[in-house]
Structure 1
């Protein structure tokens, strides 16, 4: 067979293959629009990049023990229809979620730990200011309940920053009508507290999450704290 003949058969073969492939492409179903889904359960021994160690912090933050955090409480962007303007923080106390509202009816969602019964706070306020590696000064009422905290009282200057500081790596300070509510959004190394009611009123987050949130929020941003209906009579508004 001549070279020309070989090329002709090859051309016919390639052409036929192209027709078949184009036929598959023409009859394929359109790609469905992506939807937000819960992250898969963690593979044993694996840690998502967002929860890995942060060695460059002034006090290096260890990786999160993700086995102690239900995957539904991992940080993720979700659809979130709301009338609140972008930049608003919404704390859904009953669901144990914090939403930072984004444009386009979207929000970044975080799992949180909230106040125990009797210490819950709800209402509208603002994030007056933020602090990296803040000092912790328990209010006098807390010191009265827990005398062992006296060394860290306001008069004694509080507790210095560090991994053992209850405010963790970052804190957002909540004010209402120009006054400090004494409630904070802050970090915590206690992964197992996320999704539970464990703190004395403050809103706690994983340290990695509060570092990320801190960088996204501006001073003066509005915050809305939704009360737990079952404890509405105990909430301070």
Structure 2
């Protein structure tokens, strides 16, 4: 009987150690700006006020006409071409390895607080995703979405500002909710969108 109790105590000790260590590890996030791992809660608190990459008007010489969206995936920036050789530059989150893409399309639709239907391939990868999620603050598409042609991809908001500047999505381009609302008001349906690697 005492061997059984010792064995059970050992099993419980291992179980408790794992249950304490795993959540702590899951709560850590690699910050490429500081080249260190940090607590996700710390990163979220630090970035609660908005994007870690502030939008700004910059010089931008291009042959694209004003109103065009140019996404520089490798730079993790979105440029909205303005008049006079300028652009509004936003920080973005992009597709992780294996989910990046490029091409030229048009904005086919705009939506405020859009609902989300995860595509079948995503539901296969992540089986616990709901078949549909109504729009709202907890929805992964955030406050606004700009639909890209007939693709499955969107430029959309996020409630996770720490993800801006990161390669974390399944191909969509994400901005903070504040930035996507600003972009949404500036862009028309039919605007050209150019996604570059």
CA separation of 1:133 and 1:67: change in aligned 2, threshold 3 A:
closer
- Number of equivalences: 152
Contact 2:47 2:161 in 1 (8 A): yes
SS of residue matched to 1:127: strand
- Taking the aligned partners of 1:68 and 1:83, their CA distance within structure 2 comes to 28
Cα distance in structure 1, aligned partners of 2:113 and 2:92: 19
Aligned: 1:195 with 2:165: yes
8 A contact 2:47–2:162 mirrored in 1: no
> Could you tell me which residue of structure 1 aligns to residue 146 of structure 2?
172
- Equivalent of 2:152 in 164, 174, 182: 182
Q: Does 1:148 align with 2:128?
A: yes
Structure 2 counterpart of 1:210: 180
**2:128 aligned counterpart, secondary structure:** helix
Residues in 2 aligned to 1:102 and 1:67: alpha-carbon distance in whole angstroms: 23
> Partner of 1:159 in structure 2?
133
TM-fit CA distance, 1:184? 0.5
The alpha carbon displacement at 1:121 in A equals 1.6
Which runs of 4 or more aligned residues in structure 1 lie more than 6 Å from their structure 2 counterparts after TM superposition? Answer: none
Within 2, Cα distance between the matches of 1:224 and 1:206? 20
Distance 1:218 1:129, change over 3 A: same
1:84 is paired with a residue of what secondary structure? Answer: coil
Which residue of the partner structure matches residue 97 of structure 2? 117
Partner of 1:92: 72
Residues 147-195 of structure 1: CA distance to partner in whole angstroms, max 9, x if unpaired?
Answer: 101x3x2xxxx111111100000000001xxxx2100000001111011
CA drift at 1:64: 5.4
Unaligned runs of 5+ in 1: 1-62, 228-237
Whole-Å separation in 2 of the counterparts to 1:207 and 1:74: 13
TM, length-normalised to structure 1: 0.62
Alpha-carbon offset, residue 65 of structure 1: 2.1
